[in-house]
Structure 1
Amino acid sequence: MTNIQLITPKPWAEYELIDSGNFQKLERFGDFILSRPEPQAIWDKSLSDQDWERQAQAVFRRDRQSPERGDWQTKPSMRDPWYVTFRQSGLNLKFKLALTTFKHVGLFPEQADNWVYIYEKVKAISANTPRPKVLNLFAYTGGASLAARQAGADVTHVDAVKPVISWARENMDHSELDNIRWVVEDAVKYVRREVRRGNKYNGIILDPPAYGRGPDGEKWVLEEQLNDLLKSCADLLDRDDFFFIINLYSLGFSSLILENLMQPLFGDVPNLEWGELALADQAQKRLPLGVFYRFSS
């Protein structure tokens, strides 16, 4: 059995986790510094409250009537939207960022290591399989889709939220890419239909939320539906040239849960890596930001 791993992405110029603690995180995205809630940062901050107040150009405040929504308090120097680039290991991507009512900005920087992984795996597969087929489920604003496309893959990007698909399309244009296939649909329905059609994919990427709704009101509950979805994905994965990535960010979800789900479905796969994703702040406190399981041919 492969040992559990902790992966922290290599530093990149346009993102930095400055500090974390007291259920918050202070981050720099490009030219702007943001303060956002972070439920796993239960320790003390390393910097003073005055330092946070001085540095942050946008601070997210939760709505007392909603556990998820809120609004941003911004300084005059803050722009919205704005743009950042990611250049690493051959990748050159550009993302639009924006302040949303759900505290997100359109980018999950802890995924940077997965973007590099996807790029390198697609390049490797391309030696035997020209234009590998990659399926990105719960694909959000498309970081993984862009990485696969820039490596030369034929990419299908599936998300249930139409405005998010539009955002991902903008990121494709800003990254000077093209021809990603956009699908606004419930991921479970799409995957089941692909299995019936007998389709196969060389790469499958999943980043499912804890809860969600499909475009027709379909209910997604991670604990109730993930196992069945993974069974369908196992049927879709090409077993000659392949890679598979799943990420989960849900409080209380251990990487051992993923291992117990994946092993019976996929068996003893080659090049297996599994464990936690994290970001390190300036004081070298490591903030856990999800669990992952990935393997490749």
Structure 2
Amino acid sequence: MDPAKLQMFENRLQKVYKHVSKIARRQNITCYRVYDDDIPEFPFSIEIYEDHIYVAEYQRRHGMEEDAHEAWLDQCLQKITEVLQFPPEAIFVKQRMRKEDRQGQYQRVAQEKNEFIVNEAGLKFKVNLSDYLDTGLFLDHRITRAMVRDEAAGKKVLNLFCYTGSFSVYAASVGAEVTSVDLSKTYLAWAEENMAINNIDPQKHHFIHADVLQYLDTLKLNTFDLVILDPPTFSNSKRMKEHLDIQRDHVDILNRVLLATKKGGVIYFSNNYRRFVLDEAQIEASAIKDITNQTMPFDFQQKMIRKCYRITR
């Protein structure tokens, strides 16, 4: 590797880490992003989960033979552990272009059950840095989760595409009655576990294994006070009756959810499609507010990775 380029990566990582780690300490945040594809030659996302580093290598045509890529990656990982001052065994790596079975100094995605509990805003969440496409906790929604908790007390809450239920835990922690819906039994079980480790009785809440697009047809009118809707951009899962394209389908989905929302009720709607355009004129809401900027945490300021809206029936 060109030493000058590696030095450039080191300098950038040091600068960003010094800045964001200081803010994280001040805000008592222990899980945060420190680097996100800042330099094209080093296409990583780097996140800290308390005592661990999570590195995802973005897909690209790097033009290297496998052995050369391995050597390049090991140099990068060594530099990451040096700058962040973590031991090599604390780093976990997701590589999107290569077979994921390499054993070595750094623990790879093929290692199973690298699970532990992290803390966020007085709540606990299980993360897994090895076995799934994502870790179990989307750090960019830290502020949005706090917004939900601020207005969920005593309300009926619906969390669609709930993933591992972090929004559900935030809402339940202040006494909301929460219905969590997802197509994955694995993630629903994870959501129940997240409830339990926060001393919240999962039996007092509802976990629905369903295709959300079909589940919407079963909802009764005027049922929920607060809805979280954070769908994938696209989905063509074989288990889904219909394919999902959030740009094409968002008006229909939102209007169906609005029917199930009480008058004055709120939907927090988010998605990761970078070119997404909300068709406000077709959405049957009394108010729509783009809250993308105010929900973007300090460690995601450089890159607008998703849109977020607060929609009132």
For normalisation by structure 1, the TM-score amounts to 0.75
What is the alpha-carbon root mean square deviation over aligned residues? Answer: 3.2
Specify the alignment match of 1:23 in structure 2. Answer: 43
- In structure 2, the CA distance between the partners of 1:122 and 1:72, relative to structure 1 (3 Å rule), is farther
Between the aligned residues of both structures, percent identity stands at 22
Q: Distance in 1 between matches of 2:297 and 2:58?
A: 12
**Unmatched 5+ stretches in structure 2:** 1-22, 60-74
Question: What is the Cα deviation at residue 199 of structure 1?
Answer: 4.5
- In structure 2, the CA distance between the partners of 1:215 and 1:134, relative to structure 1 (3 Å rule), is farther
Specify the alignment match of 1:75 in structure 2. Answer: 106
Q: Distance in 1 between matches of 2:57 and 2:308?
A: 22
Aligned-partner residue type, residue 253 of structure 1: R
| Structure whose CA Rg is larger | 2
Q: Distance in 1 between matches of 2:209 and 2:149?
A: 24
Specify the alignment match of 1:3 in structure 2. Answer: none
**Unmatched 5+ stretches in structure 1:** 1-7, 40-47, 124-130
Specify the alignment match of 1:269 in structure 2. Answer: 287
Aligned-partner residue type, residue 119 of structure 1: R
Q: Which structure features the higher share of helix residues? A: 2
Question: What is the Cα deviation at residue 64 of structure 1?
Answer: 4.2
1:110-139 CA-partner distances (Å, limit 9, x unpaired): 11101110011123xxxxxxx311111000
Matched, 1:86 2:120: yes
Q: Distance in 1 between matches of 2:162 and 2:94?
A: 24
Q: Distance in 1 between matches of 2:124 and 2:271?
A: 24
Q: How many residues align?
A: 257
Question: What is the Cα deviation at residue 279 of structure 1?
Answer: 4.5
In the alignment, is the contact (CA less than 8 A) between 1:145 and 1:155 conserved in 2?
yes
In the alignment, is the contact (CA less than 8 A) between 2:114 and 2:131 conserved in 1?
no
Specify the alignment match of 1:98 in structure 2. Answer: 128
Q: Distance in 2 between matches of 1:168 and 1:132?
A: 19
Q: Distance in 2 between matches of 1:109 and 1:210?
A: 18
Q: Which structure features the higher share of strand residues? A: 1
Question: What is the Cα deviation at residue 285 of structure 1?
Answer: 6.3
Question: What is the Cα deviation at residue 224 of structure 1?
Answer: 3.3
Specify the alignment match of 2:80 in structure 1. Answer: 52
Aligned-partner residue type, residue 20 of structure 1: D
1:139-163 CA-partner distances (Å, limit 9, x unpaired): 0001111111112111100000111
Aligned-partner residue type, residue 304 of structure 2: P
- In structure 2, the CA distance between the partners of 1:72 and 1:169, relative to structure 1 (3 Å rule), is farther
Q: Distance in 2 between matches of 1:51 and 1:83?
A: 26
